[in-house]
Amino acid sequence: MSYSLRKQHRFGFTLIELLVVIAIIGLLMALLLPAIQRVREASNRMRCGNNLSQIALAAHNFHNDYNIFPSAGFTHINNTSTTTAVINGVSYTFPAGARLLANGQPMTAPFQNWGFFYQILPYMEQTTLFNLPGVPGSNQSEMTIAQTPIPAYHCPSRRTPRPGPARTSTLGWFDISQNGGASASVAYTPAKCDYGVPACNLDFLPPGQTATYLQGSGPYGNRNEAGQIIVRSGGNLNIRVCSLDGGVPDGTSNTILISEKFMEVNFYGSNPGYDDNSYPNGWDNDVGPLFTSNQPMQDTRGVAGSQRMGSAHPGSWNVVMADRTVRRIRYSIQVNPILCTLIVRDDGGTINWQQAE
């Protein structure tokens, strides 16, 4: 028997060929990854702009119902000093930090202690959360609200909607009624907010105007009102609100309503002093005022972030104007007078948008 011997060949890659293939794959990844990141960031920026547009629409729907914009409230939610206000000609003393309720239901601006982002909840499809009834002797409802993240209040480029780490603080008063009550320290996980109210400070005065509406103690002037649309309201018999009926003489297309806020990257998952009291805060650094004394900038490390406009986006940040138009403003904008002109609603100034975008 004869056998035919055939030479057998093995097919495969040599080491050099494998190295070439790996190098090509690495090169393709290096080329594609930045493009993928740019596409993801473009999508996130658009979603962020949609959040601002939704917030502005809620503010306008609130205005349609009450003929005023939501206020910044009286104070932040863990302030235990009392507050006085005049309602329909009658003076009331309220326990600061708690929601103001009438017959168990939350009151609206200008007689609501909690601020803008709480007051618009019914217009953000969060009516049930807004209407959680007050429970005498307990702040359970207040804790539930303060710990519930609102997806539209988070920029997707920065973080997902979830509460921050637990902290211990005085979250209002137990007896949320006009009769006061007892305060207590409680542990809670504050829900965050990536947006805030921009305000002008004393480094800018409109041409031909005095500093009357900006005056006040501290380096930033009057925290009650510094030219912005969302103003503090109700405290110490001093009711302040803004209405479209003559309240925005510069025009809604020329005035910023809400802005993104700056954060230090290393504080994304913690409770820094400007991001620790949850979105119902009416007048704390969590949601404003975002003053113009600090140049807006992209989120970074090692930079004081309190009261600064900015965002996680490269190159520019999002704002929504009072006419609900979302715009991008570059970080290099000249603060005084260009950015200040966009914030102050009654300075008579206008800008060329090429100076801002």
Number of structural domains, the chain?
A: 1
Q: Is residue 278 part of a domain?
A: yes
Q: Using alpha carbons, select from 276, 116, 126 the residue that is nearest to residue 196.
A: 116
Q: Is residue 31 part of a domain?
A: no
Q: Is residue 68 part of a domain?
A: yes
Residue 32 backbone dihedrals phi, psi, to 5 degrees = -85, -35
Summarised one tens digit per residue, pLDDT across range 75-101 is 666 655 666 666 556 666 665 556 777
As given in the structure block, the two tokens for residue 353 are: 């948008």
Q: Is residue 7 part of a domain?
A: no
Would you say 234 and 111 are in contact if contact means Cβ atoms under 8 Å apart?
yes
Summarised one tens digit per residue, pLDDT across range 104-152 is 778 887 778 788 899 999 999 999 999 988 766 567 788 888 889 999 9
Q: Is residue 212 part of a domain?
A: yes
- pLDDT confidence of residue 89: 62
User: Looking at the predicted structure, is the pLDDT value of residue 169 above 70?
Assistant: no
Give the helix ranges, DSSP H, for the chain.
15-66, 116-119, 127-130, 140-147, 340-343
Residues 253-267, mean pLDDT to the nearest whole number = 92
Residue 353 backbone dihedrals phi, psi, to 5 degrees = -65, -15
Q: Is residue 22 part of a domain?
A: no
Q: Is residue 142 part of a domain?
A: yes
User: Looking at the predicted structure, is the pLDDT value of residue 245 above 70?
Assistant: yes
Residue 313 banded pLDDT, cuts 50, 70, 90:
very high
As given in the structure block, the two tokens for residue 150 are: 């609102």
Residues 52-67, mean pLDDT to the nearest whole number = 95
Q: Residue 137 belongs to what domain range?
A: 40-355
Q: Is residue 332 part of a domain?
A: yes
pTM confidence score: 0.81
Summarised one tens digit per residue, pLDDT across range 212-224 is 444 333 333 344 4
Q: What mean pLDDT, rounded, does the chain reach?
A: 77
